Structure 1
């Protein structure tokens, strides 16, 4: 940035804060409107398919045989090229890190033709599964911007002025200041699979960025000179100069610099007297570029997931910095498929906790990927009040929520209508076409890295305490169990998980010393219930038992209510104070037929109430909740 430009920008800060919202790349939002445009499913027709051939088959070892399977399926399905009517042929491109293969068809097919072809491929006895190599998109709906200049405060001036999402003095904030007394994420690697990074941004150049890799294999998408993957993760820009360039009805839009914003939430330089703060600012970010112009291909994203976790991808050097946490603020409008699930399972087996954005369509997350996959931490978005952001996807698959911003008036905390402020650029196209600054975004893309960063704080603190880091399953349970209750009621029809991510509570729970029966009286091991926070999606076989516990403080005058509801099957509830209840012989019991059990304890004494959920018959999708005043 030139000195002349700097001086002009200093005078322009106040005006920039009042600018009308601009649109970000990927799904678009008008602030105040709950509708967020997603590329229609019919727009995803293309010329690439992912096929997993069965182990031991000829096709699993011969590229020529792999192509023949696709060509034979095309002949059976009657697939024809859109122009000329010739038969469809297939060329093997590469083997993915999950063991599947990517093949390119001789020409694009329309959506119906491509889906028919994939069904025929999947029906071949040599094939385990077949999936269209569709494109997914960044999930950042809308933004404002202000220039990157220090104000009068000595450190991170925008922290106090704009970063309501991190502070303690706001109902929607995550109280990061108290967590930083314990951990800043030192030694932990967080992979950000996104549009890449602006490594020269002054608030992202403090040593937190690892070299990363560009996994995009289509020069049109990457805007590089070649289809080859390359070291580094420079964001070349994802602008779209032509309407309908990506799909029918896609808009003209500027570059988003989405990956830099997401990475900034994780680990933007902090306490450097410049700009904004990052949550796990002692951690390192591994930027992995998978999104560019018109999004990114499923095949590239799957390989990036495997590589980021330390897995092997043909033709790519080994990742010297495997990520303990992987953040994916991206997605598409389809349920989880075998390609995503296989890549995620590989990453989890390698020890990486995978955190994903729920999506921005104000719809059930079950219909979006990768948020509907197993073994991921799914993050919904809250706004400055702590209530549901209007755009956030919801549902039983959402694990917990975090600040995503948008959809609420400025409460006087400098919240800019509650946008999430991090590093960005005003460049409309290429990285060198503008100036570095800070950008306010709103979306589940912004919520997800809050949770990824908190996971980094926890892992770092455990290692510093000479304790073993958590497995992905243990981390998911910790984050959910330690989430704080929503300060604003969340409608039961749009559940957003167990609460808002709470780094202080997560660290306290992770670092709590296990009970030593030789020096103290230890209570039974139980899953913690939080006051007024439902535990959803419970299931169990006939005869199974699960023990929960809720601590009731002194001075509670109203009743303690413990209920189970919903789902199918038959359960019973048994509750005792300060002791594990026996099935059928608790201090309080509810044994109605079905799953609608209620135990009400008037004027409960202070102590720990143990709740045993017993399966009379196999049950599924049951909700358990404890409430007191």
Structure 2
């Protein structure tokens, strides 16, 4: 659902770092051999009800309870064959036949015709099947696609966990971030399982330790590249590249599932690479997308299985997930099959998080974004506004960082684990990749659900989770395009966790002393190393803000941050002159609360603090 904008590939990967992992940069950097052109693996939605090339081979039929086709596999096949004959398609297409593929966990049947049908023939067969009194509903088994686009660049920084502060703005930036560091004071996801329904995963030293054994639900050998239509244990990503334009648009492998899984639970505090949001949670990888996308029927079975439900022919899931992340979608309103699977998962107590889509359109026209009982996520950039590609509308529940692709490196992208191969992962190496899309926004939310569940005294019901996330989302700091709502606000993990475990200590925003415009606070004193927190709310229309200290004795430093407590390494403005005469100025590009921390560089007494906005 994200249009391909560039299919040229310049692969100039400069020197690898000590353990063979790469981080990238769009800009030409000192020591880099060449400036790298972006590599873009586009995501293109097929027309509603069709495969990527506009032809359809598979359909989902739900028979009525008590009907012969519902009770008997042979009767179901006979019913499908009779419908094919009645449609008249066999007369004009010699050799056209139909087979019954399997019964889904939702109770519907998947049938497949032997030759692809164009749009007219597909509509004819659907109409004929619907006319059967035994049929409750029938729909095309549509292919869905991941909702992220990948960009790869040459290496810049040697990876280690501190790089998350430089690259992963989406966690901590005061305007565009999700406020993850404040949430980590409370929870890291311990004991929670997050199922990532995606392209599967590849080996990566900064992710492997947090992966559970998964399952491959793709039931088409062309899509899976496994050489068999049978499903299989494990969730290895064989690559989703395609070089056959007759099958679907030509593209390179995305390793999209590895990226989304990294946002959820990349290993953290291990001295390498980047960080994951719920880095002590476990990811259950479930492969549902491959070459040219993935079938709705396979995704539906995977949803049921991931939540602990039963799927015929598949071993029971030993690790039912508290939350399912689906960074995927396609055009057309929510299918009955998809809705039934989601309803089953929610009944099993699993929260389902889905991406809103990347077509800059109303999410009501996309599935599963328009399904009920899901948390649908839109994408924002570092400036806190709607990402140019993000779907919008009343179906979007809240937004989260997805990258805007227009703020350069690293701030235009969401950074996570990946692989540098254009095709099979075995031909590449583990790297860190910048991507954009609602695909990237959704796992930020899923991981926050894991944080919540890890500290809840009793598991939160999916409806409780949704209510909490929407109620604690922070307001958009900039105006959204007219008529394009993006939900209740931007994900605020820190505030969401505070509903379960209230913040305590000097750095809690609730402990900040209020300042009034141009009203001095006099007589401040403190010891060396002491910290005092203040806040002022700046109205719409203000263009600048200054914090000043003056008078008294000693030495103070000012740390200023929008929206939350300034801490070392996470400030917007700093003033640290010798003595007490400090001025910290910040351009006001958004209304809201600004926090200033007065730090005793040395012991101080008799100091005055004043805030002025204009």
- State the secondary structure of the residue aligned to 2:117: coil
* 1:21 alignment counterpart: 38
Kept in 2: contact 1:146–1:439 (CA 8 A): no
Q: Which sections of structure 2, spanning at least 5 residues, go unmatched?
A: 1-13, 504-534, 541-614
Q: 2-side partners of 1:349 and 1:142: how far apart? A: 34
Distance change in 2, residues 1:304/1:12 (3 Å) = closer
* 1:257 partnered with 2:261: no
* 1:368 alignment counterpart: 366
Q: 1-side partners of 2:205 and 2:73: how far apart? A: 47
* 1:506 partnered with 2:496: yes
Kept in 2: contact 1:420–1:446 (CA 8 A): yes
* 2:414 alignment counterpart: 420
* 1:471 alignment counterpart: 461
User: Which residue, 298, 302, 305 being the options, matches 2:303?
Assistant: 305
Q: 2-side partners of 1:116 and 1:70: how far apart? A: 13
Q: 2-side partners of 1:295 and 1:16: how far apart? A: 35
Kept in 2: contact 1:23–1:143 (CA 8 A): yes
Q: 2-side partners of 1:295 and 1:501: how far apart? A: 28
* 2:128 alignment counterpart: 120
- Cα offset for 1:176? 0.7
Q: 2-side partners of 1:134 and 1:166: how far apart? A: 35
Kept in 2: contact 1:25–1:138 (CA 8 A): no
* 1:159 partnered with 2:164: yes
* 1:175 partnered with 2:169: no
Residue by residue over 1:513-535, the C-alpha shift from the partner in whole angstroms, topping out at 9 and shown as x without a partner, is 9xxxxxxxxxxxxxxxxxxxxxx
Kept in 2: contact 1:362–1:390 (CA 8 A): yes
Equivalent positions of 1:602-621 (< 5 A) are none
User: Which residue, 54, 68, 71 being the options, matches 2:78?
Assistant: 68
Distance change in 2, residues 1:104/1:494 (3 Å) = same
Kept in 2: contact 1:147–1:436 (CA 8 A): no
Residue by residue over 1:538-585, the C-alpha shift from the partner in whole angstroms, topping out at 9 and shown as x without a partner, is xxxxxxxxxxxxxxx999999xxxxxxxxxxxxxxxxxxxxxxxxxxx
Equivalent positions of 1:134-533 (< 5 A) are 134-147=142-155, 150-151=158-159, 155-167=160-172, 169-198=173-202, 200-205=203-208, 207-246=209-248, 250=249, 252-410=250-408, 415-462=409-456, 467-511=457-501
Residue by residue over 1:461-507, the C-alpha shift from the partner in whole angstroms, topping out at 9 and shown as x without a partner, is 11xxxx11210111111111110111111134110000011111101
* 1:583 alignment counterpart: none
- State the secondary structure of the residue aligned to 1:192: strand
Residue by residue over 1:181-222, the C-alpha shift from the partner in whole angstroms, topping out at 9 and shown as x without a partner, is 100000000000000001x211112x2100000000111100
- State the secondary structure of the residue aligned to 1:437: strand
Q: 2-side partners of 1:487 and 1:503: how far apart? A: 17
Kept in 1: contact 2:23–2:157 (CA 8 A): no
- State the secondary structure of the residue aligned to 1:405: coil
Kept in 1: contact 2:267–2:276 (CA 8 A): yes
- Cα offset for 1:395? 0.2
- Cα offset for 1:26? 2.6
Q: 2-side partners of 1:125 and 1:10: how far apart? A: 59
Q: 2-side partners of 1:223 and 1:318: how far apart? A: 24
User: Which residue, 130, 136, 140 being the options, matches 2:138?
Assistant: 130
Distance change in 2, residues 1:133/1:16 (3 Å) = farther
- State the secondary structure of the residue aligned to 1:510: coil
* 1:39 partnered with 2:43: no
- State the secondary structure of the residue aligned to 1:118: helix
User: Which residue, 111, 119, 124 being the options, matches 1:103?
Assistant: 111
- TM-score, with length taken from structure 1: 0.74
- Cα offset for 1:25? 4.8
- Cα offset for 1:85? 2.3
Distance change in 2, residues 1:17/1:476 (3 Å) = farther
Q: 2-side partners of 1:343 and 1:16: how far apart? A: 50
- State the secondary structure of the residue aligned to 2:170: coil
* 1:56 alignment counterpart: 66
- Cα offset for 1:70? 2.0
- State the secondary structure of the residue aligned to 2:201: coil
- State the secondary structure of the residue aligned to 1:321: coil
- Cα offset for 1:61? 1.5
Kept in 2: contact 1:385–1:408 (CA 8 A): no
Residue by residue over 1:6-26, the C-alpha shift from the partner in whole angstroms, topping out at 9 and shown as x without a partner, is 579889974489522211253
Kept in 1: contact 2:355–2:378 (CA 8 A): yes
Q: 2-side partners of 1:478 and 1:189: how far apart? A: 19
Kept in 1: contact 2:68–2:75 (CA 8 A): yes
Kept in 1: contact 2:23–2:158 (CA 8 A): no
Kept in 2: contact 1:148–1:437 (CA 8 A): no
Distance change in 2, residues 1:461/1:16 (3 Å) = farther
Q: 1-side partners of 2:434 and 2:241: how far apart? A: 18
* 1:576 alignment counterpart: none
Q: 2-side partners of 1:447 and 1:555: how far apart? A: 28
Moved more, 419-428 or 155-164: 155-164
| Equivalenced residues, count | 488
- Cα offset for 1:159? 0.4
- Cα offset for 1:44? 4.2
Kept in 1: contact 2:24–2:433 (CA 8 A): no
- TM-score, with length taken from structure 2: 0.75
Q: 2-side partners of 1:73 and 1:369: how far apart? A: 27
Q: 2-side partners of 1:11 and 1:468: how far apart? A: 40
* 1:597 alignment counterpart: none
Equivalent positions of 1:556-571 (< 5 A) are none
